[in-house]
A = this chain, B = another copy of it.
């Protein structure tokens, strides 16, 4: 009983430390990256308008140049489709999600710091965050083991056979864990993101092995869906301003002002935003618990292997 309460104390302290660390990271990354992002975004919008103004009848090299511009924007973290009223990459929930991918070393890379200060902070953040996350997962694994032990003790009263109870508890733990962490979340993701179940499972595996290619990232599609609401009027604006450009060539200041005021008008109304935050939080919780469960399963595997080695070489 004492072990359990001590474990809970340590555990709640670690949870507190971990989440505070993530919160702090989220805020600082947001502060560091947001302005550079908005500059890049405006710059890309101007490039687009330049392009429309200059190449009314475009040819091969012009097209190549434009492709280069789009890829550059993409590398700088600007979503080149739509207009500059797209939701920011570095809003709080995304920044929090990013901090989570740093400390777990998943590192999807769909977001990454582009400013020097952001990169420097990222290095120090990871230096402290990765050990903290490992300690957190270890402690969580210990607590899960203790709960498993209690489950075993509870079952022993009913069945009385030690070996059978242990095997049953472990397999119960394994099966419920698999369902909770490897079957139900991919089903949910495939439903929300429009992936096949195979793709969703692949995403789950790549995430929980901490490989994190970033070819599938949870919440990206949802963000795109939300930005559709903003897209149609945005397109009309882009279209209009392009025409304005063609008539009054090089009225850059006016255009920037127009975009800014349009952004201001839209600022209050971000449909689907809260829903995405909630969804991403759920995904984050899934990652943490599933990683702890996985570490435990791997530990058990190692223990079973060692027992087998001892049994075969007495």
Contacts and interface: CB of A to CB of B under 8 A. Distances in A.
A242 B205 CA distance: 43
Interface string A179-205: 000000000000000000011001001
Nearest to A123: B205
A302 B54 CA distance: 62
Nearest to A79: B71
Given A70-B67, A130-B209, A205-B126, A242 B59 contact: yes
Contact of A119 (B71, B108, B198): B198
A64 B238 CA distance: 10
Contacts of A108: 109, 213
A314 interface: no
A106 B239 CA distance: 42
A242 B63 CA distance: 11
Contact of A215 (B105, B112, B205): B112
B81 A116 contact: no
Interface in A127-183: 130
Given A205-B123, A238-B60, A239-B61, A215 B109 contact: yes
A269 interface: no
A213 B120 CA distance: 15
A116 B198 contact: yes
Contacts of A275: none
A290 to B, nearest CB: 15
Interface of A is mostly: helix
Interface in A68-111: 68, 70-71, 74-75, 80-82, 101-102, 105-109
A215 B80 CA distance: 17
A215 B123 contact: no
B212 A109 contact: yes
A48 interface: yes
A179 to B, nearest CB: 18
Given A71-B80, A71-B81, A82-B64, A59 B239 contact: yes
Contact of A206 (B48, B68, B107, B209): B107
A15 interface: no
A102 B57 contact: no
A300 B287 CA distance: 29
B75 A48 contact: no
Given A105-B211, A119-B202, 20 more contacts: A52-B58, A58-B58, A59-B242, A60-B238, A61-B239, A64-B81, A67-B70, A68-B81, A101-B211, A105-B105, A107-B206, A107-B213, A109-B212, A112-B214, A114-B215, A120-B202, A122-B202, A123-B205, A126-B209, A210-B210
26 contacts: A51-B63, A52-B58, A52-B60, A57-B57, A59-B242, A64-B82, A64-B235, A67-B70, A71-B74, A105-B210, A105-B211, A107-B210, A107-B213, A108-B109, A109-B109, A109-B215, A112-B213, A116-B198, A119-B198, A119-B202, A123-B202, A126-B205, A126-B211, A210-B210, A212-B212, A213-B214
